[in-house]
Amino acid sequence: MTNLTLVRHGQSDWNNKNLFTGWENPGLTKKGVEEAHKTGNLLKKENKNYSYLFTSILDRAINTADIILEELGIDQINIIRDQALNERDYGELTGLNKDAARKKWGEDQVHIWRRSFDIPPPGGESLKDTAERVIPYFRDKILPLLIEDNNILISAHGNSLRALVMHIEGLSSEEILTREIATGQPISYEFFDGKFNL
């Protein structure tokens, strides 16, 4: 049986300030570093022996992964970084405080942009757009490695991981909108005979 573990990066400085982050590159907060260490310790107890680590190209995911690898004591692993795993691009919302965005565009409109499946903010991506880059990448690059019995760790972002969870668990576009992906909390799936199980 093969394992796939998904980890959302630890809390970033912009998460802490309640800002739309998207493809910007803030660092981890002290809490985010602690979350990554905690995640690494938790995964160490599970003894998964990861062969591959996939991350986005954004520092918060890379730094979280580096801390996890340090906690796991892994120094030999195949590391692949790809923009396909980046967070959803928030377009004109990027860098704005979420409360300020609500004042500018209205609470209902910002809620629609954040929580609808296929309505993007101005100049940005919807969750559907994010899924359309994440899922093909998963099918083409990650799934074949799972089929070859490689344990895989993915360190990425709330919305890129939400798209993966939707695909892996067969959730509808409505069901995934209520699914929260917490910072620093691993989600592990067993992969056997072409199927995923939590």
Q: Which amino acid is at 179?
A: R
Our answer to whether residue 167 is catalytic in this structure is no
Catalytically annotated residue among 9, 35, 125, 157: 9
Burial class (CB in 10 A: 0-12, 13-18, 19+), 129: middle
DSSP β-ladder status, 187-192 and 152-156: unpaired
Catalytically annotated residue among 24, 34, 70, 87: 87
Radius of gyration of the chain (CA): 16
- 8 Å CB contact between 43 and 77: no
| Torsion angle in degrees (nearest 10) through CA of 33, 37, 38, 39 | 100
Our answer to whether residue 87 is catalytic in this structure is yes
Q: Measure the CA–CA gap between 101 and 84, rounded to whole angstroms.
A: 26
Residue 71's nearest CA partner among 46, 29, 43, 49 is: 43
- 8 Å CB contact between 90 and 121: yes
Which residues are the active-site residues? 9, 87
